Amino acid sequence: MKKILITGGAGFIGHNLAREALAAGHEVRILDDLSNGYRDNLDGLDVDFREASLLDEEAVGSAVKGVDSIVHLGALGSVPRSIKDPLRSHHANATGTLTLLDRARRADVTHVMCASSSSVYGMNPALPKNEREWVRPMSPYAVSKLATEQYTLAFQQSYGFETLAFRFFNVYGPGQRAGHVYAAVIPTWIDAALNGRPLFVNGDGSNSRDFTYVGTVCEVLLSAAERRTSHPEPVNLAFGTNTTLAQLIAELQAALEFPVQLQFREPRPGDVPHSQAENEALRSLIPGIEPTQLAEGLRHTVDWFQQTIERKSR
C-alpha cells in the first residue's frame, strides 16, 4: 500500500487514477484548485481532498507531507486557452510544477511523476516521435509542458529524485467532459452527436492523433508508482497508433450505432497536424501493458455519456 498524492486529482485523468489507486488498495490525497476540475468527480471516493492551488506554497507543502509518490497532473490544459491567456497557463503549469517540486524536496518526497505533452514536439515533423527528437513548441501551453517535464527531470540530477516525465498524447475516456470551450475532440463530438448537432472538424479530417484510453494511462501510472520507476529522459505515454480524424469519425459512428453529421472548418492555430508516439522506452520501463483498443475505449466513453444524460434527465 502506498500513499499517493495526485495533483489535479479532481480532473479527468486524475479522478480516474484516484479510483483505480483506491481499488488497488492505496491511500490517495488530492490537491486541486477546481479551476478545471469537479468536486463531484470524487463523490463516493475515500480520498483526502485539499482544495488549493499549486501556487499556494503552504498548501502544497502540507499536501506533500508523508506521501510515497506524487503524480503531478494539475495544470491548465488546452492550446487555445494558453494562446488566449499565456501567463495564466505559465503560472499554473510551469511555476506550479516548480513550487510542487521544491516543496517535495523540502519534505523528502523524492518519487515524482509528471504529465508533459506530445505538444512539445510541435513543429518537428518526424513520425513517429522519439523522445530524443528535437522539440519546438508551437503554443504557450506546449512551452509550459516542456518546463513541467524539464524541471521534473532536472530534480533527478540536482537533488537525487526518482522521476518519470511522461509525455501524454491524446487521452480520452469516461469522465472527460464536453460542453466547455476548451474541451477535447472526443467528448465534444460524442456530446454533439448524442444531442443531434453536427461534429465540427478542424481541417479536412486528415490530421491524425495517437489516442490512449484513460484506463491504460492509469494502469501505467499506478504500475510506476508501485515500483518507484524512474528514468532520466522524457517517456512517451502512447502506443503508436495514428488515427486520422476521418477514421475516428468512422469508429465513433460504430460505437454510437448511428451516422453523424459533419461540418468542416479552418484548422486551429497552434494545432500540430500529426502526432504519433514511438514507445520503446515505455514498453521497457513498464512492461506488460496491453492498451485498450480505440473501438472498445470509445464504447465505454459513449456508455458514460449516455448514463450521464440519463442521470441528468431523472
Compute the distance between CA of residue 206 and CA of residue 114 in angstroms, rounded to an integer: 30
What is the Cα 33 distance to its own chain's centre?
A: 17
Query: Does residue 235 bind ligand NAD (CB under 6 A)?
Result: no
Judged by beta carbon, residue 198 or residue 210, the one nearer ligand NAD is: 210
Query: Does residue 10 bind ligand NAD (CB under 6 A)?
Result: yes
Among 82, 97, 110, 117, binds ligand NAD (CB under 6 A): 117
Q: How far is the CB of 210 from ligand NAD (least distance, A)?
A: 10
Q: Which residues of 260-276 are buried (b: 16+ CB within 10 A; e: fewer)?
A: beeeeeeeeebebebbb
Q: How far is the CB of 218 from ligand NAD (least distance, A)?
A: 11
Q: How far is the CB of 154 from ligand NAD (least distance, A)?
A: 18
Query: Does residue 54 bind ligand NAD (CB under 6 A)?
Result: yes
- Per-residue binding string, ligand NAD, 148-167, x by CB under 6 A, is --------------------
Q: Which residues, 243 to 262, sit near ligand NAD by CB under 6 A?
A: none
Compute the distance between CA of residue 92 and CA of residue 85 in angstroms, rounded to an integer: 11
Output the DSSP codes for 146-157. HHHHHHHHHHHH
Query: Does residue 104 bind ligand NAD (CB under 6 A)?
Result: no
Q: 139 by DSSP, 3-state: which?
A: coil
Compute the distance between CA of residue 172 and CA of residue 176 in angstroms, rounded to an integer: 7
Among 71, 94, 109, 115, binds ligand NAD (CB under 6 A): 115
Q: Which residues, 27 to 46, sit near ligand NAD by CB under 6 A?
A: 31-37
Q: Where are the beta strands (DSSP E) in the chain?
A: 3-7, 27-32, 48-51, 69-72, 111-117, 162-168, 170-172, 199-202, 208-209, 211-213, 235-237, 243-244, 262-265
Query: Does residue 140 bind ligand NAD (CB under 6 A)?
Result: no
Q: How far is the CB of 191 from ligand NAD (least distance, A)?
A: 15
Among the listed residues 220, 237, 228, 221, the one whose alpha carbon sits nearest the alpha carbon of residue 279: 237
Output the DSSP codes for 252-283. HHHHHTS---EEEEPPPTT--SB--B--HHHH
Q: How far is the CB of 167 from ligand NAD (least distance, A)?
A: 7
- Per-residue binding string, ligand NAD, 185-224, x by CB under 6 A, is ----------------------------------------
What lies within 8 Å, CB to CB, of 209 at 6+ separation is: 169, 170, 185, 242, 243, 245, 248, 274, 275
Query: Does residue 168 bind ligand NAD (CB under 6 A)?
Result: yes
Query: Does residue 96 bind ligand NAD (CB under 6 A)?
Result: yes
Query: Does residue 55 bind ligand NAD (CB under 6 A)?
Result: yes
Q: How far is the CB of 111 from ligand NAD (least distance, A)?
A: 18
Q: Which residues of 12-33 are buried (b: 16+ CB within 10 A; e: fewer)?
A: bbbbbbbbbbeebebbbbbbbb
Query: Does residue 101 bind ligand NAD (CB under 6 A)?
Result: no
Judged by beta carbon, residue 62 or residue 288, the one nearer ligand NAD is: 62
Among 29, 67, 77, 81, binds ligand NAD (CB under 6 A): 77
Q: How many residues bind ligand NAD (CB under 6 A)?
A: 29
Question: What is the distance in angstroms between the CA of the first residue and the CA of the last residue of the chain?
Answer: 39
Residues within the interface to ligand NAD (CB under 6 A): 8, 10-14, 31-37, 53-55, 73-77, 92, 96, 115, 117, 168, 170-171, 184
